[in-house]
Amino acid sequence: MEAMDRHFWLTRSVARVAGVNLARAMAAGHLKPAQYNDMIARCQSCDRRGTCEVWLATQTDWPALPPAYCAHAPILDELRQIQRPH
C-alpha cells in the first residue's frame, strides 16, 4: 500500500472511531480540503503508525477519544462536538 494511501486510511479510521465523519465535515464547511490534506501529511510524519494501527484494532467501544499522542486529537475533538447530535 502506498504511504499516502495508508495515512489517508489511518486518518479516516481514527476519525471514524472518534465519532467524526470527515466527508460530512467537509460538505458542511467545517473542514477545508487543505486542512484535510494537512491531517494526512501530519499522519505521514508521525512515527507511531504501528501503535496507531494497534490502537485502532483494539477499539470496541465507539466513539473513543484518539490517543493523546495523535496529532489529530484537537481537530477531531472540535469536529466531534460540531457533529454531535443535540
Q: Is the pLDDT of residue 86 over 70?
A: no
Range of the domain at 35: 3-83
63-70 LR contacts (CB < 8 Å, sep 24+): 63/17, 63/18, 63/19, 63/20, 64/17, 64/18, 65/18, 66/14, 66/17, 66/18, 70/14
Q: What is the mean pLDDT of residues 62-72?
A: 90
- The pTM (predicted TM-score) of the whole model is 0.88
Domain tally for the chain?
1
Q: Is the pLDDT of residue 1 over 60?
A: no
Q: Is the pLDDT of residue 9 over 70?
A: yes
